Every structure is written in C-alpha cells, then in structure tokens.
C-alpha cells in the first residue's frame, strides 16, 4: 500500500517549484528534491531579467522561491539525489541520498520529474564559432552576467562594443549534433538582450542572425517588433558558419539566405544563442521504474516536446517548461 | 614583395575559457565496441592495432590508438602521381626511426574522389573497395595507415555504414569472398598524419636544423577532420582543442612557428567536383582565399598540410595568380616532407621538391640546407642513370 498523499518532485527549478506549489495547493504533501544547494534552477541563478517583460529575475521569481521555503506542505531536500527507486504507480519506494551520504527511503504515490536543462556547450558546435578561442565570443548566459553587473563590454578590452551580433540556434535544430528540436526560448532571449544592449549602448549596432525567428506566445509583439521598431535591431535571415579574428575585430562568415549571397561582416562582440539540453542532473537521479511509463507517455504524444533522458535506452530528451507526471491513475502527461 | 613584419600569435588561444572534453557528448558514436561485437559474432575479423601503439587525444576526449610500426601504407593516387616525395618522405621517416612498415604494390584506389565529385559508384562498390584494401593489409600482417585525407574520411563513413547495415555487410562480404579474401575491419582507421603526431617527439629529437626562424601556416584538410570529427586528433594545447592538432602539433614540436590566418577553415580549393570541371574556380579559391590571405596576415615561409589534394591545389594553382601579379609565391608541401627535410632528408632524392611548382629554395636556405649542393648531387644521379652507371636511386643512397 503506497502513500498516495505524497508526491515526489525531482528538481527545484521553475517547473519543479510550480509542481510542488500545485501539489500543496491540492492539499497533498510534496517532497521536493534538489541536487544543488539552492532552488530556482538555471533561470534564477543565471539570468538578470526574464522575457517577455524584461522583469528582474529576483522580482519575477523571488516570491516563488520564498513561497517554497515557507510552505509547510513542501518538504524541501537540498543537496539530495535519488539513488534508487522501486515500485509502481501509486506505490513508489524511493531512496534519497543527501550530501553527507545519508540515505532515507520515502514512500510516494506519484513522481514528477522536473530535472530541467543546461545550456548547450558551444565547444561542441559543428560550426566554428570560436567560443573557446576568442574572449569576445560569449553566450546568452555570459551576457546575462554582464547585465547583472550593469555593463556590457568586450571582455577582451573592457570597451563598449559598437557592433554586436547574435547567432541563433547554436546547439538547437541541428541534426549534425543530434539536437533536432527547437529550444523555443532563445529567439525571445536574444531579442530581449538586444533591447537591453540598445538601452545601455544606444549607439551600438545590434544584429540577430537567424534561421527563422520563433517567437512563442505573445513575445512577437512584446519583444520582436519592439526590438526592431523601437530599438532598430537588425534581424538578418542567414546562417553564420564561422567566427574568426580579423585584427582586433571578429569576422563572421556565412550566408545571407534572403539575398542568397555569402556574407562577411566585422563585429566587436558575438553572442551565441545557446539552446538547451538535458541537465546532467537527469542522469544523476536513478528513476528506473519510470522509464517505461515515460516512454509510453512520449509515444502517445508523438512530436510533442516531452523530454527525458534516463540511464538506459530508450533515450529520450528532457523536460522543458513542463514536468512529466506519473500519477496513481496512470494519467501521466504534461503539466 | 617586401617582407611583412606581422605579429605571429601562434596557437595559444586568447581566452581563458576552457573546453571540457567529454566522450559522452561526442555526436559521432564510438564504433569500436560495435566493431568488436560484430567480430565476436563472426561477422568479420577485427584487425587489432599492433603494439606498441600511441594513445592520441581526440576532440571529445576519446583516446585513439595509433600504431607506431608494422604499418601497411595505403597510398594516395594523386600523391603518387603529382607529389611522389610526399610518400617517400613518410617511408624515409619510418626508416630513420627504425620502424618496420610495408609498401604494398597491389593497393586499389579508394574511389572517394569520384564519390565526392558526385561522379560515380555506389554504396556497395565503395564499401567493397575499402574492405578489399583492409583484407589486403590483413593478409600481409601489417596494419593499414591511410596516406590520403579523403580515403581516410571516406573509409570512416563506409565503416559507419557497414556497422549499421547488415544487408550491406552481406553484399560486401559476398564480393570479398568471391575475391577469395578474408572479410576484415581494422580496430581503428588511422591517417598517416596521426602517426606523424604520435612520433613527433622522436622526430624532434633528430632535427638537424634550427627551425625557429621558419614560420608556417597550416591548412587542415577538410576530409581529415570534418568527416566524423570526433575521431580526429585534437590537443587542448593547440587552439584550445578547437582545431585539429594534426600537422600543427608536429610542426611546433619540430621547433618551427605556426601562424594563424583567417581562412584556415576554408577548403584548399580542390573541391573534388571543382578540380575536375571548374578548375578556374579551384585556382582562384586556392590563391585568393588561401595563399594570398596567408601572405597578407602571416607572411609564412611555407604552407604545410596533410592531404594530397590540398598540397596539389595550393601549390600548383599559384602560377595562375602569379600571372596576374597577385601576392602569391609561398612553397607548399606536406608536413612529412617538411619533417624529413628538418631531419636531414635529401630535398630531391627523398622529398622530391622538383615536382613542386612554387620556388622552395628560399625556404631551404632559411632552414640552413645547402640547396645548390643538393641539386648538383641530384643532377649527378640523373647523369649516372642516363649513362647506365646507376639503375635508380635506392634507400642506401639516402639513409
């Protein structure tokens, strides 16, 4: 007989926190397990502001984080991993291991996997973007750190850049590296950052090189048109294949696919819009009984972005903005 | 042209960011276990890399076994036809290092040139040629070492197809059995420049000249590292592990300077289809996109590369640009020829630089080689051959 009143949530990023809050609101008990020492996930730790309103991350997420800490129905376990799991829907026996190697077994009726994402490492890109060769090639995450510090500068010399290029779909929509999916948020984040750069450096010229812009939700009006019409950001449909140094500048090479011509343009700074991949935390949790269920869940929704990567085949991708839920009645699906 | 005084930045990256290599993230699957498993199931014979071997780092951290000796030299058709000193230099280096090798006379051309020119052949035929050559190597007891970058890259793609396609394996196996040969897959597919990398320290210990005044630009061959790049050699010390260490690692270890230039990632111009049907494009690309840019940005003494087509295109295209007064005129050769010269090989008897188009004499003089004396010796050989006093130049003449 399992404990159907308790739900285990693995991962305390935005998805896991929201799931825990929802479980608590439904009058159930949530055990929220987080491998790191703090909650909030990648957006809370890495981003200065969030789309689509350019709201400060602390302001947007701070109350959610505090709510988790203060909610008596949420049993938060930091620095903890799932090391063993047995049982079936409605009666899972899950072994948790804390940082000091202490193990505890919890009985839960459902498990929500929300292990989140990590940014793609541009060193694995098939194109030559030079992230590990040139200081002035940075990622969206590096740019957020600069926004947090209050200044956007060329790392090579500390000077304000006059020309900045964003390169979209780095690590996304690329069969060569095995990431066929769209990461969905990078277009919005690049547009957001382009606005922030123009606010900080009104005289800078900012370009966004894209395959096609994928602005989800209401972001098209809130960010995409705003960037172009109010901030004069240049969106160029094209594929950038190389970033190399030319004197003290960066030369980006590729194809302007609107014009159907090769292009070579000098920039002061290049920002790689790195996509998302399963977080390493996915592999660090052992959630074996779930895999068959998760697989059937994904097969039932072909083409939908339900991602999970387990410790053995079938290898699926990871959860983004949603958690995979396995519940007592077998109605496992997306949140 | 007046010498340019350009700063040589070398291969150290300017950033402190470090790429953490992780074999788990390689996009090209590691086929070795599958190859051994197919061997255990009787699908083919796996030829192991002979010991002693060198473990070389690849882009994502997997270590690749590079045989040091007992190598079967899979030569390149264009290499033997246009730049014979290329392969002779490799053999000479093997002999200098005392490594046993085999120079087969019955190797078949890999057909990849036609494949990449979209000209001919089919999947089974190409795979059969690859497996025929592998079986020929196996029968001699020597391990295949591929001289040509295109053969190397092509064979890796063929290997991938054979591992994953049982129907193709059966087709090809039937062909090989009809030839009366064993069906063999080598444990690793190895390029000669990887062997050069593996023995670079041994080579450096035997260098006869001070190479520090020599500046080289390196053209990495596309088919060496752009096909299944997870299998090519990358060294964290060279461009942060973001560009292949083949050639560059050897040249630096020998003591010469390697200079960066902005079109290093571009093709040499050969293009396969282009060299066949749009040769003017090849000439223009090789000289205006590659040689002239190197000249402007690094002013090298020599261009070094590790593939037949690249040496040929970059060297033998320069006459066309010179006729138009463009800024060209940089000698081009393989790193094996450069290393052989550095170790004291004869420029003409061994490296056969008289087959090259661009004037290489200024380079040789800068290296400290008495080029006039070497040429006189070579002319003397030719005179003796003409008079019948000498049949041909032998290894005894050059070791």
Q: Say yes or no: A106 and A145 in one domain.
A: no
Domain endpoint, select from B192, B220, B235: B192
Both A324 and A230 in one domain: the answer is no
What three-state secondary structure class fits A240?
strand
Cβ pair A132:B25 closer than 8 A = no
Identify whether B13 is part of a domain: no
CATH of the domain at B368: 3.40.50.11810
Determine the residue of chain B that is closest to A121 in CA distance: B19
Residue B37 lies in a domain: yes
Neighbouring residues of B151: CB distance < 8 A, sequence distance ≥ 6: B74, B76, B110, B112
- Residue A214 falls inside a structural domain: yes
Q: How do the pLDDT tens digits run along chain A, 335 residues long?
A: 567 899 999 999 999 999 999 999 999 999 999 999 999 998 899 999 998 889 999 999 999 999 999 999 999 999 999 988 888 888 889 999 999 999 999 999 998 888 888 899 999 888 889 999 999 999 999 999 999 999 999 999 999 999 999 999 999 998 888 888 899 899 999 999 999 999 999 999 999 999 999 988 768 888 999 999 999 999 999 999 999 988 899 999 999 999 999 999 999 999 999 999 877 766 665 555 554 344 333 333 333 334 454 434 333 333 333 344 444 443 333 33
In chain A, the residue whose alpha carbon lies closest to the alpha carbon of B27 is A177
Whether residues A47 and A150 share a domain: the answer is no
The reply to whether A301 and A154 lie within a common domain is: no
- The three-class DSSP label of residue B18 is coil
Which chain B residues are closer than 8 Å to A128 by Cβ? 242, 265
Indicate whether A143 and A268 sit together in one domain.
Answer: yes
Q: Within chain B, which residues score under 70 in pLDDT?
A: 1-9
CA distance B138 to chain A (A): 33
pLDDT of residue A320: 36
Judge if B241 and B116 occupy the same domain.
no
CA-angle at A294, arms to A288 and A295, nearest 5°: 100
- Indicate whether A104 and A185 sit together in one domain: no
Phi first, then psi: give them for residue A76, nearest 5 degrees: -85, 125
Separation in Å, CA of A230 to nearest CA in chain B: 35
> What interhelical angle do B123-140 and B166-178 show, nearest 10?
60
Range of the domain at B136: 23-192
Say yes or no: B181 and B213 in one domain. no
B383: buried, middle or exposed (CB in 10 Å: 19+, 13-18, 0-12)?
exposed
pLDDT at position B80: 79
Same domain, A222 and A198: yes
What is d(CA B187, CA B37) in angstroms, rounded to the nearest whole number?
11
What's the domain count of chain B? 2
Q: Residues A313, A298: one domain? A: yes
Tokens encoding B220: 């990495």
Give B-chain residues touching A119 at CB under 8 angstroms.
none
- Residues spanned by the domain of A328: 6-116+279-334
Those residues whose C-beta lies under 8 Å from the C-beta of residue A317, and which sit 6 or more positions away, are A181, A278, A305, A306, A307, A308, A309
Determine how many CB atoms are found less than 10 A away from the CB of residue A304: 12
CATH code, B57? 1.20.1050.140
User: Which helix H or strand E contains A144, and what residues bound it?
Assistant: helix A140-149
Residue A288 included in any domain: yes
Q: Cα A248 to the chain's mean position, in Å?
A: 32
Give how far Cα A281 sits from Cα of A22, A105, B23, B382, Å: 23, 20, 17, 70
Least Cα distance to B73 among B183, B189, B193, B192 occurs for: B192
Residue B294 covered by a domain: yes
In this complex, do A133 and B20 lie within 8 Å of one another by their Cβ atoms? no
Q: Scanning every residue of chain B, which has its alpha carbon at the shortest distance from the alpha carbon of A122?
A: B19
Are A283 and A203 members of one domain?
A: no
Residues of A in contact with B242 (CB under 8 A): 123, 128, 130, 132-133
> What is the least distance, in Å, from the CA of A72 to any CA of chain B?
40
Q: What's this model's pTM, rounded to 2 decimal places?
A: 0.86
Please tell me whether residues A136 and A112 are part of one structural domain. no
Question: Do A168 and A313 fall within a single domain?
Answer: no
pLDDT at residue A283, rounded to an integer:
61
Chain B residues within 8 A (CB-CB) of chain A? 13-20, 25, 27, 60, 229, 239-242, 260, 262, 264-265
Look up the ipTM and state it. Answer: 0.81
Same-domain check for residues A40 and A145: no
pLDDT of residue A312: 41
Q: How many domains does chain A have?
A: 2
Residue A1 lies in a domain: no
Query: Are B187 and B211 part of one and the same domain?
Result: no
Tell me: do B171 and B232 sit in the same domain.
no
Looking up residue A181, the CATH number of its domain turns out to be 3.50.50.60
Identify the domain boundary among A275, A298, A321.
Answer: A275
Predicted local confidence at residue B8, as pLDDT: 59
Q: Write down which residue in A275, A299, A318 finishes a domain.
A: A275
């Amino acid at each position: 007989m399992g404990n159907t009143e308790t739900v285990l949530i693995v991962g305390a990023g935005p998805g896991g926190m929201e799931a825990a809050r929802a479980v608590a609101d439904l009058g159930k008990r949530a055990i929220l397990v987080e491998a790191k020492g703090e909650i909030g996930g990648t957006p809370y730790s890495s981003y200065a502001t969030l789309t689509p309103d350019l709201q400060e991350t602390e302001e947007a997420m701070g109350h959610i984080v505090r709510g988790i800490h203060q909610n008596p129905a949420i049993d938060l376990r930091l620095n903890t991993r799932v090391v063993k799991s047995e049982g079936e829907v409605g009666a899972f026996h899950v072994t948790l291991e804390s940082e000091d190697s202490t193990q505890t077994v919890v009985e839960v009726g459902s498990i929500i996997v929300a292990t989140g994402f990590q940014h793609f490492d541009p060193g694995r890109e098939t194109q030559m973007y030079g992230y590990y060769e040139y200081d002035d090639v940075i990622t969206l995450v590096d740019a957020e750190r600069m926004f947090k510090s209050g200044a956007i500068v060329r790392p090579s010399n500390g000077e304000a850049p006059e020309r900045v290029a964003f390169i979209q779909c780095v690590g996304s929509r690329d069969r060569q590296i095995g990431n066929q999916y769209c990461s969905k948020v990078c277009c919005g984040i690049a547009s957001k950052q382009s606005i922030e750069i123009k606010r900080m450096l009104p005289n800078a010229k900012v370009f966004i090189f894209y395959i096609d812009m994928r602005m989800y939700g209401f972001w098209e009006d809130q960010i995409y048109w705003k960037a172009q019409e109010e901030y004069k950001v240049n969106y160029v449909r094209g594929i950038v294949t190389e970033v190399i140094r030319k004197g003290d500048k960066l030369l980006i090479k590729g194809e302007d696919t609107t014009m159907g011509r090769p292009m070579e343009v000098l920039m002061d700074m290049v920002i790689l819009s790195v996509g998302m991949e399963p977080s390493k935390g996915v592999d660090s949790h052992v959630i074996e009984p779930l895999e068959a269920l998760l697989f059937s869940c994904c097969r039932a929704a072909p083409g939908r972005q339900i991602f999970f990567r387990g410790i053995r085949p079938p290898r699926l991708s990871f959860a983004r903005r949603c958690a995979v839920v396995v519940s007592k009645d077998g109605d496992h699906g997306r949140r | 042209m007046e010498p340019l005084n350009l700063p040589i930045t070398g291969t150290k990256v300017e950033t402190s960011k470090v790429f953490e290599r992780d074999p788990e993230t390689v996009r090209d699957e590691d086929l070795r276990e599958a190859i051994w498993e197919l061997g255990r199931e009787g699908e083919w014979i796996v030829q192991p890399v002979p010991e002693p071997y060198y473990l070389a780092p690849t882009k994502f951290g997997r270590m690749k076994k590079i045989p040091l000796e007992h190598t079967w030299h899979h030569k390149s058709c264009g290499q033997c036809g246009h730049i014979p000193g290329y392969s002779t230099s490799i053999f000479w280096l093997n002999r200098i290092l005392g490594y046993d090798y085999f120079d087969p006379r019955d190797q078949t051309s890999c057909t990849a040139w036609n494949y990449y020119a979209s000209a001919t052949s089919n999947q089974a035929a190409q795979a059969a040629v690859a497996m025929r050559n592998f079986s020929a190597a196996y029968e001699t007891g020597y391990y295949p070492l591929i001289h040509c970058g295109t053969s190397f890259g092509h064979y890796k793609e063929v290997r991938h197809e054979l591992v994953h396609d049982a129907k193709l394996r059966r087709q090809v196996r039937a062909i090989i059995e009809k030839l009366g040969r064993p069906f063999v897959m080598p444990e690793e597919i190895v390029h000669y420049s990887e062997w050069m990398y593996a023995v670079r320290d041994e080579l450096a210990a035997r260098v006869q000249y001070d190479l520090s005044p020599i500046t080289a630009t390196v053209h990495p061959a596309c088919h060496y590292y752009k096909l299944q790049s997870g299998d090519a050699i990358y060294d964290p010390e060279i461009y942060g592990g973001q560009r292949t260490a083949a050639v560059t690692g050897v040249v630096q270890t020998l003591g010469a300077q390697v200079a960066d230039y902005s079109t290093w990632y571009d093709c040499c111009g050969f293009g396969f289809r282009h060299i066949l049907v749009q040769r003017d494009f090849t000439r223009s690309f090789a000289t205006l996109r590659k040689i002239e840019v190197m000249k402007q940005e690094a002013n090298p003494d020599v261009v070094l590369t590790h593939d037949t087509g690249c040496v040929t295109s970059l060297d033998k295209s320069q006459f066309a640009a010179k006729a138009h007064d463009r800024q060209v005129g940089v000698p081009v050769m393989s790193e094996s020829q450069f290393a052989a010269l550095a170790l004291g090989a004869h420029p003409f008897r061994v490296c056969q630089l008289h087959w090259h188009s661009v004037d290489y004499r200024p380079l040789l003089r800068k290296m400290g080689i008495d080029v006039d004396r070497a040429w006189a010796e070579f002319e003397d050989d030719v005179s003796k051959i003409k008079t019948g006093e000498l049949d041909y130049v032998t290894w005894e003449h050059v070791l």
